Chains A and B, each alone.
Chain A
Amino acid sequence: TQLLEQSPQFLSIQEGENLTVYCNSSSVFSSLQWYRQEPGEGPVLLVTVVTGGEVKKLKRLTFQFGDARKDSSLHITAAQPGDTGLYLCAGASGSSNTGKLIFGQGTTLQVKP
């Protein structure tokens, strides 16, 4: 069974601080998605990483896919209150043709002004 372990589960920081969220597995994924979800809303796709070692930047967010495609990280620079939400990583297995995603447990981020 493929699992994605996401850490930390909860993070409360002050505005302007930096943070990193990790998503780790013993399994190889063909791609990995990061989503952000605000309370009462659906997850919003932030980025997809596909190639081992790939780094993608989205304004103050930097996403990295591990060389072996077993892990990923999300780094936020100078966090703002608008970054508050639930961050989810989700991996896709290349051996599956069902479109089924394996979700991490999520990181709840609170950025205080």
Chain B
Amino acid sequence: DTEVTQTPKHLVMGMTNKKSLKCEQHMGHRAMYWYKQKAKKPPELMFVYSYEKLSINESVPSRFSPECPNSSLLNLHLHALQPEDSALYLCASSITGLAGNYEQYFGPGTRLTVT
């Protein structure tokens, strides 16, 4: 089973709203990732969690707040977003974030629209 699930599938939010994106995997993977993707562009890395600890923050604005409650779950809390934050948000996981284990499995994404 190489499934990563994400909820919700679609989200429309105003600039003053607070919402959360959720990601779950049950493959026993210990590294989890958040990416942002614009149309016809490659995914842009936002955050990496390794063994439930934040290991990479790619200078993401503080209006995006990640959380890893346990090894299977990853959340992305959203607050005071801007219209330019509208994008497909992808979650991914890999066995570990260590050398030799780079295959990442992606979820279906959350299509976020900020109005």
Contacts and interface: CB of A to CB of B under 8 A. Distances in A.
Interface of A: 30-31, 33, 35, 40-45, 48, 86, 88, 90, 92, 94, 96-101, 103-106, 108
Interface of B: 2, 4, 6, 31, 33, 40-43, 45, 48, 50, 55-56, 88, 90, 92, 94, 96-109, 111
Contact of A98 (B42, B56, B104, B107): B56
12 contacts: A30-B99, A30-B100, A31-B102, A33-B104, A43-B43, A45-B2, A45-B104, A45-B106, A92-B102, A96-B99, A101-B104, A103-B43
A23 B80 CA distance: 38
A99 B30 CA distance: 11
A90 B105 CA distance: 12
Contacts of B109: 40-42
B23 to A, nearest CB: 11
A81 B2 CA distance: 25
Contacts of A101: 45, 102, 104
Contacts of B104: 33, 45, 90, 99, 101
Contacts of B90: 42-43
Given A33-B102, A41-B109, 12 more contacts: A30-B99, A31-B102, A33-B104, A40-B109, A42-B6, A42-B90, A42-B109, A48-B103, A88-B42, A92-B102, A101-B104, A106-B42
